[in-house]
C-alpha cells in the first residue's frame, strides 16, 4: 500500500513540553516494519507545542499571521527531522520543502518526510496534498482524539462517528479558527483536497500505536471519511 501518514505534533510532546523520545522511537519502529512488509510511506509531522509557543510569542511581539505561519512551518519541519533521525537509513535524508522533490523522492524506496509547506493552512493540508500528488491508497491521520465527533467533544452527549461524509465534516468543522497555530483536525484546504480527489482518509488516536497497525490492515478504527454525496 502507498500511504501518507500525518503524525499530529501533539503526540510528540509531553505535558511539560519535553520531546517524547519513546513515542518517536515507537513510530520509527512501526514505520520501518511497514516498509519491510513492502508498503511505501510519506510521513507529515505537525508542529505541536513548540509551534504554538513560538507562534504566540511572535504574535505578541508584533509578527503578522504569515510570519507566524512560517514559524509553524519550520517547527513542523524540525519535528520531522526528529523522526528522520529515528528512522536513520530508512528515511530520505532531507525534509521535503517542495512538491516536485516529493514526486522524485517517493520513488527511491525511502520514507519521505515533510513538515509545513506554505502559509495559510495546517500540516493536514500538506498531508492531503501529498496524498493527492502521489495517488496514495490511504491518508492516515494520527491525532490525539479518537476521531471526529458530531459536535464539540467537550459538550455533553457528543458522539464519536465511525464514518463521516466529507460534506458533514466540513459543516462540523466550519466554526474552527484559521489563525496561525489554531487549527484543529482538518483545515479548509485539507478538506477541499480530500473532497476533490476522494482520498480514502482515516482519522484515529495516534497515542496507541496498535491503531496505526490496524489502520494499515484496513481494520475499522477512529473515523473514516466517506464521499457518498459526490459523483
Ligand atoms: P500544524 O499543522 O502542526 O498545526 O502546524 P496544528 O493544528 O498545531 O497540528 P498538530 O496538532 O501540531 O499536528 C502548525 C502551524 O504552522 C502553520 C500554521 O500556522 C499551523 O497552525 N503551517 C503549517 C502553515 O502555515 N502551513 C503549513 O503548510 C503547515
| Domain residue ranges in the chain | 2-226
pLDDT of residue 200: 96
Over residues 219-223, the mean pLDDT reads 95
Instruction: Among 27, 47, 82, 189, say which to mutate for ligand 1: greatest number of ligand atoms within 8 Å of CB.
Output: 47
Range in 56-70, 115-129, 149-163, 190-204 with the lowest mean pLDDT: 149-163
Q: How many CB atoms are closer than 10 A to CB 81?
A: 17
Residue labelled with grid coordinates 510570519: 67
* CA 91 centroid distance within chain: 17
Q: Does residue 177 surpass a pLDDT of 70? A: no
Q: With contact defined as beta carbons under 8 Å apart, do 4 and 42 qualify?
A: yes
Over residues 33-42, the mean pLDDT reads 96
**Topology of the domain comprising 2-226:** Carbamate kinase (3.40.1160)
* 164 SS3 class: strand
Range in 98-112, 116-130, 163-177, 206-220 with the lowest mean pLDDT: 163-177
Q: If pLDDT is split at 50, 70 and 90, which confidence band does 183 have?
A: confident
CA atoms within 13 A on the CB side of 214: 17
pLDDT of residue 90: 98
Q: How far is the CA of 76 from the centre of ligand 1 (A)?
A: 7
Q: Does residue 150 surpass a pLDDT of 90? A: no
pLDDT of residue 67: 97
Rounded CA-CA distance 133/115 in Å is 16
Over residues 65-84, the mean pLDDT reads 98
| Burial per residue of 5-22, b for 16 or more beta-carbon CB atoms within 10 angstroms, e otherwise | bbbbbbbbbeeeeeebee
pLDDT of residue 176: 66
Residues 6+ apart with CB under 8 A from 126: 6, 44, 114, 115, 116, 117
**What does the pLDDT look like over 75-115, one tens digit per residue?**
999 999 999 999 999 999 999 999 999 999 999 999 999 99
Pocket of ligand 1 from Cβ distances under 6 Å: 8-10, 46-48, 51, 68-69, 72-73, 76, 116-123, 125-126, 180-181, 183
Over residues 64-79, the mean pLDDT reads 97
Amino acid at each position: 500500500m502507498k500511504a501518507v501518514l500525518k503524525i499530529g505534533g501533539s503526540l510528540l510532546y509531553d505535558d511539560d513540553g519535553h520531546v517524547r523520545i519513546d513515542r518517536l522511537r515507537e513510530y520509527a519502529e512501526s514505520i520501518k516494519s511497514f516498509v519491510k512488509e513492502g508498503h511505501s510511506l510519506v510521513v507529515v509531522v505537525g508542529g505541536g507545542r513548540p509551534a504554538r509557543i513560538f507562534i504566540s510569542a511572535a504574535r505578541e511581539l508584533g509578527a503578522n499571521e504569515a510570519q507566524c505561519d512560517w514559524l509553524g512551518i519550520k517547527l513542523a519541519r524540525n519535528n520531522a527531522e526528529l523522526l528522520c533521525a529515528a528512522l536513520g537509513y530508512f528515511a530520505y535524508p532531507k525534509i521535503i520543502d517542495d512538491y516536485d522533490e516529493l514526486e522524485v523522492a517517493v520513488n527511491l524506496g525511502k520514507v519521505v518526510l515533510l513538515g509545513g509547506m506554505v502559509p495559510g493552512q495546517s500540516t493536514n493540508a500538506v498531508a492531503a496534498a501529498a496524498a493527492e500528488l502521489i495517488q496514495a491508497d490511504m491518508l492516515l491521520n494520527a491525532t490525539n482524539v479518537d476521531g471526529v465527533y458530531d459536535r464539540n467533544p467537550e459538550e455533553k452527549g457528543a458522539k464519536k462517528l465511525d464514518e463521516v461524509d466529507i460534506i458533514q465534516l466540513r459543516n462540523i468543522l466550519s466554526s474552527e479558527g484559521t489563525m496561525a497555530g489554531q487549527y484543529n483536525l482538518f483545515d479548509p484546504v485539507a478538506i477541499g483536497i480530500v473532497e476533490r480527489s476522494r482520498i480514502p482518509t482515516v482519522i484515529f488516536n495516534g497515542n496507541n500505536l496498535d491503531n496505526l497497525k490496524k489502520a494499515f490492515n484496513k481494520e475499522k478504527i477512529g473515523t473514516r471519511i466517506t464521499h457518498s454525496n459526490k459523483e
